[in-house]
Structure formats: structure tokens, C-alpha cells
Structure 1
Amino acid sequence: QNSPFTGFFGGLEDYYALLNLRDGGVGGVKLTWEECETGYNSDRGVECYERLKNKGGGATLVQPLSTGITYRLIERATADKIAVMSMGYGRTDASDGRVFPWVFPIVTSYWSQNTAKIMYIGSKEGGMDKLKGKKIANLYHESSYGKETIPILDLQAKKYGFTVNHYPVPHPGLDQKATWLQIARRFKPDWVILRGWGVMNPTALKEAARVGFPANRIVGVWWSGAEEDVIPAGKAAVGYVAAGFHPSGADFPLIQEILDIVYGAGKGNISPQRVGTIYYNRGLISGIITIEAMRTAQKKFGTGKPMTGEQMRWGMENLDINP
């Protein structure tokens, strides 16, 4: 609750609230959900999971919203037969459902995003062959999330001939002065990849400006590319680019419906000013995918029935949201 990620849960819970208010739930079943404050701490995440997994008849799905917690829950959720959804985060190789049948890193992954960032840098340099001899600094949050792409970057460095140095930033990331001096004065990279989280992001942009490193040579992860990440940095963020996999803005019929029905009834889960922001829309999309998987499961196992973890896993595995 004390991070920019409140936007994510605002969007997610607003969508659930809309379905309850407008439709009476999903297939005649009212939606219920539990919150648990983890503080982005993996031990607390495990405690939350164990305390809540059997509540209300048992969890249909768990969303950790943390790569570290996702790693810790894989074996537990598999044993408990509860599907784990990690949209755009978590353990990338869990995409192989033959090995990880209960984990769903859907839409995209950190490895795919990392490839997109390297291709973007290559395009700015005039082609992938122009990466040879270039230097890239990988500034990462010192956590499972931050470390997820290090092996991939090392392999890509060998493939394309660039040099990559990795710079960890301890949580929460407020002290980066010495790190940026190493980056700008010693390594002198052509590009910086910002793999930050929370307050680490605007701090990094401010420190880059302080040492004279141009913002338009910094490419961020999609957890470093929301309003909460750049507005606090002010002018230091001008020119900065970050990855993404969905649009922002409130000019969508669904969001207008949420404002009319949910916020009109005083049932909103976040400040109305944050509706339509990057993290809010990401949570909304996560909710849409969750519910469509639930509808898929109900078609097979029975409309009007709450879905078990096993049934939800089938729904996730057989989800098809193509028009």
C-alpha cells in the first residue's frame, strides 16, 4: 500500500467491483478477494499466502505482484493446486507449462522485454551490428526481480559484441550517488538500462542528471515507466524512455463505465485522479484476463459455481481472448 503499486490494485479491484455492481459477479457468482500488505518482502508474502489460501472456501487464484514472492510460492501453490498469475513479472522460464503447470507469467515476460530494449538500443545506434563495442550499464534493484535479466543480458552481450556491467541498488534505492559516479565517471556507458522499483526510479533519473548522463540514453523496465516514476524526477525525466505493454489514459469505454458505476456509487478503490494511469490500467488488464479465464473455466465446469484452483488453472491454460 505504500508504493506506486497501489495503482495496480486500484485498477484490479475496481474491475472486480464493477462486475459485482453491474452484473452481480461472474456467471452468477459474486467476486470476493483478500488483500495482504507484504511491503515487497518475500517472507511476509509467504505468510500472507499461508494465512489466506484457505479463507472463504479456498483461493481460486493468487497474484503476488512481486517476483521474489512468486519464486517463493511456486512450490507451495503447486502443492496446494492454486494457480499463480504473474502478468509481466515473476519467473520467466515458468512460461514452460510442462514444468510449471500452476504458474502463468502471461502477456509477456522480463526476458522478452529485455530483448525489446536491446533491439530499441540497436535501432537507435543504426542497427544491431552497431552494438559491437558499445557499453551498457544495467542498474538494477537488488532483488529477484532486479536480477532476473542478468543472464540474458550477458548472453546478448556475447552475441552482439557489447560490454555490459551490472550495478545493484539496495532497496529502497534512495542512495545512488556513489553508483552513478562509478557509471558516469569510470564505466562511461553509451546506454543505461534502469531496472528499478518505486522510489529508486526518480532517484536514478535525478542522479543521472546530477552527473551529466543524458536521460535520452536511459531505457527503463515497465516497472520504471509510470507517472509515479517520472513526475517526482521533474525535468530530469525529460527524454527518458521506458518499456510498456499496454496504453494509459481514461478514454476507454470500460474506464468510463467504472467511473460512472463504481465511483458514482462511492465504491472506488483509489483516488479518481489516478484512474487511467499506467499502473491503474495494468491492474485493470490483469483483472480482465483473470475474469476471462474464470469465464472459460465456468463454461467447462459450470456457470453459477465458484471455481476451484484446479478449475481456474484449466481456465488459464485454455484462455483465448482473441476477437
Structure 2
Amino acid sequence: MKVLITGMAGFIGHATAKRLAGRGDDIIGVDNLNEYYDIALKKARLEDLKNYSNIEFFQFDISDRNKIDALFSEFNFDRVVHLAAQAGVRYSLDNPSAYVESNLVGYLNILEGCRHHEVPHFVYASSSSVYGMNAKVPFSTKDAVDHPVSLYAATKKANELMAHSYSHLYSIPTTGLRFFTVYGPWGRPDMAPFKFAKAMLEGNSISVFNHGDMQRDFTYIDDIVEGVVRILDIIPAKGGAPNSPDSSNAPFSIYNIGNGSPVDLMEFIKAIELATNRKSVCDFLPMQPGDVPRTWADTEALFEATGYRPQTGIEEGVARFVEWYRKFYKI
């Protein structure tokens, strides 16, 4: 297959490209290499992909409609895996326009490319953040998600709504994937697992929000990628789409991809202590604006569709991440 991966220099984009190229798919990758976090890490991910002759990379911003049009005109994509987005809940408090340009304007450009070039399946990244402050757990794709508590979450919910409208109007098969707290080798420096390991290895304190009273459905990168790869061939069909809302007749689906077993934040910190052989020094702080106290994925729909459940436990996943971190940063 010929697969477009947007955000290929990102954490999940890099891992997905590596997996699909490794099995023989032809990959076209796009990324703008923005400065939200360390560009050197993004470039290192791209360098890691240069061993694959079946990966081609283009650097530009998906909000550039003309370049997106030209890309879709040049290549006949069998699948589009749309992972490019302005990430981060807290960053959206200070830089809202970045989320509009990437997560709404850029997203629409990709949808339009799929529409005009009849892409057989559009798979895109949503987020567990759409569940907001929902009290019912585990979070199910059947739950209402009408009250986002950050602009980032609002843009991800908007992506789902936009996808459904295009599925309904133009019969474009679309699948949204709500990712739950992804971690592992090549991870993002703005996320807690990376920050905690870095601080502990450097002998610095870590910021622990909501005084440590938080739970996250931490999901290892390989489990995320396995879910993405399997979903690529689960193409929603009009009138009978797997995991489609009851009120919809469109070829549209949404799935949670999470570990399905939330972990107390302090337990996760203990796993990093074990892997780094360092004791943490915690600065306990109040909840951050836009944050939520817990996430927990109901993954039954994903299992029913693909037969897959995440396999990697916290201690194993954290140990692999810390091993990569030490090697990458030469510690």
C-alpha cells in the first residue's frame, strides 16, 4: 500500500512509519518540524527512518492548502494516517491560534485531499482529552463528550465531527483513534514520563500536579502502533460501520486505544525510580488548568474489531524507555 503519514517526525508518526515501511508499504511522510519541542529529536527520528528506501519525506505545514493539493495529486494514496497536530493541553492556554491553524485548518486540508482523491480509508488521531471531566469510567466511545476542558480537546472533538460530516456527505470511510497517554522510546519531551525520567537522572525535583492524586491509562508506543496498523484495514462501511454511533449511517468509526488499566501517578513514578535507580524528589502542586484527574480506556470495541489488546506492562515499558533515553542522551 501507499500510505501518507502526516506528522511523521512526531512520536507516533515515526513509530508508525517504521512499522509500515518494515512490512513493505510505501510511505510518504509530511511534517513541518515546528519548535513546540526539541527539533533535534524530531530530526533524529527522521534520521532513524533513512534506512528505509520506501520512505519519502516532505517538510511543509499541512495548513498550506496548495502543497496538500499538490501532494494528493502526485500520489495515489491507499491510506492516510493523519497524526499531525499541535499537541499539548497546557500549551493551548497560551497559544490558541497554533491549534486552529494545525488542528482545524490543516485537518480540513487533509480531509479535502481525501475527498477529491477518493482515498479508501482516512485514519486520524483523536485524543482521550475529549472525555474531559467525565466521571463515568472506563471511558467509552459511546459516552457523551460535549464538554471539553481545553482548547486542544475541543479541536480533537471538532476533528471527529468534521470527519463524520465528510463520511456522511461524501461517503469517505473515516476512523478516529482516541489515544491514551502514549509513552516509550523516542517519546515527547513535553510529556510527564519524559520529564520525570530526565529530572531524576539529572538529580532534579519533579512537578507532581493535583498533589499526586491522578490516574493515567499509560499506553506503550508499540501497543499504540499495533492498534493503528490493524485498524488500517478495518474500513467502515456505510450503513454498517463497526463501532459507528447509533444515530449514524455513515462509514465512520471511533475507537479508544489505551492500555485499559489506569495507573496511579505515584505508582508510575515508582516505576521510573526503579528503572533509573534514582529516588524522586516531588514538588506537589495543585491541578493545572485544562487537566483532568483520570483517564481510563474502554478498549472492548478495539478488541472486537481487531482481536488485539495492549500487551506491555508499566515496569517493562518504562524500563525500555529509560534504556532508550540513556542511550540517546549518552547518560
Q: TM-score, normalised by structure 1?
A: 0.34
More strand by share: 2
More helix by share: 1
